[in-house]
Amino acid sequence: MPIWFIVVYIFGSIGLGCIFALLFFLYTDRKQSLVSAPNHGSGSNNAAPARIDAIYFGGVRMMETRDLMVIEVTVFSRLQIPYQTTIRQFMTAEDIDQLHAGDVITFYEDTRDYGYGTVSPKTPAEIIRADVKTFKANKIYPERQKTGLWLLIGRNPNMFTRSISFILIITIFGIGFLSPYMVSGNVDWLLLKIKHFPQKFIFQDKGNFNPEEFKKAYDKAIGYIGDQRIESLLFYKSFTQVTIEPADKPGYLRSRTIRGNSVEWPFMTWTIDDQDRLFTLKSIRYDLLKKALDNAATDHELKNIMYIGFRKGIRWGTRDRRIPPDYKQNHIDIHIVFEGGNESLDYNGETGERLPK
């Protein structure tokens, strides 16, 4: 996933959350207004006086405007014996201030879910029983079991609705998780990361130094560089760093970071202090790079490599004259640097053979 998508995720998540909350408020307010309307088909039938037995905060606040309240009420319905029920309802601070234990309010029963519904702080319009303050109901509807996100459809959970909800949740989560990878064309890289994820558990994570990732990273870098001249091409565990001379700005250098199929670039450029340090793709080969990496694996751990790549510079001679001193910056060699920068290996860029230290 490209770094810039983090910004999209942060602000996108906040925006979607606000939109969801607003739609939820509009839905619940609209639903409650329809149910409590006098001319509503069932408004006069499902409204009943109710005594507040207990009220407490449900632990959830939405957009600093609504609090989830858990309210225990005893309902004095005209159509059945009085009963006690517990409901969970988002309410504004103004409505919450009007609710107190022992008060009589209006309860609107859901015609499709008997024993449950919504409350309104308004005083009931009908006659209130004389024993409303002391009556204890024998019939008690328990508080609904918390289903959280595991129930997206259906009013009463059963095996079928739970299965459908589970499928919907996995689908929605999958699309949301994969969307940045699909937009940036990095789904194939994600699959490779999943494939080699177990390496992290045994502390052997090689990242781009795994054979498949290494070849893909090389091909992506080569395709991006094209005919441009480069100063260095370095492969790190999680990204590729290319320093190039932009075709539209000769005489300057610019760094590029390639993560998967995504390319990031800073706006800063700097001038080239030595034109002889630049080279083209004709001077490098993948088989030599792979040969050097395989050779390094014989006596070093690939997981400890910081980077491997081509860079043009001085090839210093050895004291025992196995390599004569050469101070000309005309050797495009392969360099491997290990974590911490305290150890490195150099390979001949034309043969792939390790150079003596």
Buried b / exposed e over 230-269, threshold 16 CB at 10 Å, is: bbbbbbbbebbbbbbbeeeeeeebbbbbbbbbbbeeeeee
Provide the pLDDT for residue 357.
77
**Cα 20 to the center of its chain, rounded Å:** 18
Provide the pLDDT for residue 283.
92
How far is residue 245's CA from residue 229's CA, in Å, rounded to a whole number? 5
Task: Express each pLDDT in 87-110 by its tens digit.
Answer: 999 898 899 999 999 999 999 888
Helices 4-36 & 159-184 angle (0-180, nearest 10): 150
Provide the pLDDT for residue 43.
47
Using the 8-state DSSP alphabet, how is residue 276 labeled? Answer: G
Please report which helix (H) or strand (E) contains residue 351, including its range. none
Phi, psi of 9 (to 5 degrees): -65, -45
Provide the pLDDT for residue 352.
92
Cα–Cα nearest to 255, from 289, 218, 214, 221: 221
Q: Which two tokens stand for residue 214?
A: 């290494």
> What pTM does this model have?
0.62
Residues 165 and 154 sit within 8 Å (Cβ to Cβ): yes
Task: Express each pLDDT in 116-165 by its tens digit.
Answer: 888 988 888 777 888 888 899 999 998 876 555 555 555 566 777 778 87
Using the 8-state DSSP alphabet, how is residue 340 labeled? Answer: T
Amino acid at 110: D
Tell me the average pLDDT of the chain: 86
Residues 356 and 319 sit within 8 Å (Cβ to Cβ): no
- Of the pLDDT bands very low, low, confident and very high (cuts 50, 70, 90), residue 86 is very high
Task: Express each pLDDT in 348-357 by its tens digit.
Answer: 999 999 988 7
Task: Express each pLDDT in 39-61 by its tens digit.
Answer: 544 445 678 899 999 999 988 88
Q: Which two tokens stand for residue 120?
A: 């309104």
Task: Express each pLDDT in 261-270 by its tens digit.
Answer: 988 877 788 8
Task: Express each pLDDT in 204-252 by its tens digit.
Answer: 999 999 999 999 999 999 999 999 999 999 999 999 999 999 888 888 9
How far is residue 351's CA from residue 341's CA, in Å, rounded to a whole number? 25
- Of the pLDDT bands very low, low, confident and very high (cuts 50, 70, 90), residue 293 is very high
Residues 144 and 134 sit within 8 Å (Cβ to Cβ): no
Please report which helix (H) or strand (E) contains residue 305, including its range. strand 305-313
